[in-house]
Structure 1
């Protein structure tokens, strides 16, 4: 894989803003933190700017580099027009939230590095480096840094390993390859502790999250002859349990533990009232195609979107489509 377009973009700019998709996950944040340190090593002036805060359990990576959470243009530096925008882990600029509204129109240019599937040519009209076969954006960055001769330090290695672990589902999702394992091997050889990363990702939630999980599981319903599971989390459950929104991220995977369930659907509402739908699947079922039809995206077996219409109507449409295409 050639990285000439990425290198040319970075060479053109001395000041960069690094961002990722709304509600950034471990791959997005790991990629941002690793890229920030790489740019500092290259003598670039850079900062991370996101639309939403990072989940608390991911703060163990680069705690001194807290991303700017953008809510108003007053937070931007006076020389923002001299910056370029580097967009990681998303190929649709409409999924940048406040960064898309306040930063994108003000910078000199932008560039996308991502690994998600897309059938929307408009998203990819900007300069970009897309590797749809890569397990994660962090995997792409590891290879990019190698190509550029940027040495990895332990904090960069830890950030990249975190992103790879998360986006491969701990090395089990379909895009996990021999290359993914080779990269993981190299990162561990640099001093990364897999146990520490896993513990922070999956074993550092609050007791309140267990209460929240019990409420969400009680909402579970089965459809299409038990092959589709649906869960729902209205924000009143967050208030009732006192758990954090991001602590529900892994709940969607629970129904897939059943041999019979092929698709898991999770509607969740944040504290501000916004509903999102997460989708997971096993086998040949393409949930990314479903997500894209609602303005979202992702991978064939893991995708999601923001709900702009009542969730009951969306649920009915998704079930009808799944029944016709896969379960008729």
Structure 2
């Protein structure tokens, strides 16, 4: 599929100069709708196709600059290709004013020697990439990812936990509208645990709470915070603890259409929070340091659902602003 869309983008260069009729793009549009199961009203389809064509142009122009050495990451077509940037993410303000439970500050081990590279996906800490769909529930996926990792660290058992349990039952949050991982973990601690994904599967929309204590897969006792804005402390936490929950700005079109390489869009805000994700490692690629990010947008986005985000580049996208992990 990636190769197919690479071909589309290359051919579109010639189309822009009148070398092709609209027939080719019409066929690709139909293929895009088929691959991503898109359906529209007749009026809506014209608007969506117009956005899709604009995104193809943006992707193509960006990737030409990559080949010229101006960028360190590529863009590509994915399920967001027919959407505006503000349709995918929104400012995260899901706090409902509930009292926060046990919270402490991360203190790195005194004898810690930082590895050159870390990847917890290869150590059994990380479940497969999930897809939140078009429900704004990234907060729930980040929370379950952090808890799945720490539960494995303690028990050596990797259990897939239920995001839908959080969407439906965590009244500290706002379901598919907004939320925060802190509030999600607060709910889990107060509730006495979180159900497994197999017992409470994800449907991507708000529903009534169906939590069952007999199906709890993991619990947490509190939250540990990494010093805000400190990428060295964040690196120490990732190296010594496991996957870390982070907030960031994912509002830029370049983030939505990211394909591969080390993402370093200077327009990415260091203050705006629009998304939550999971850092599952770090390393260096083509002389550029990166954080390995597990996202919740399915495997068609990025590198099979993952991103390399620039590390030690002035807190790119605010990646170190609100880093936390659950204590279990």
Under TM normalisation by the shorter chain, which class is it? under 0.3
| Larger of the two Rg values belongs to structure | 2
TM-score by length of 1: 0.24
Task: Point out the structure with the larger helix share.
Answer: 1
Higher relative contact order (CA 8 A, sep 6+): 2
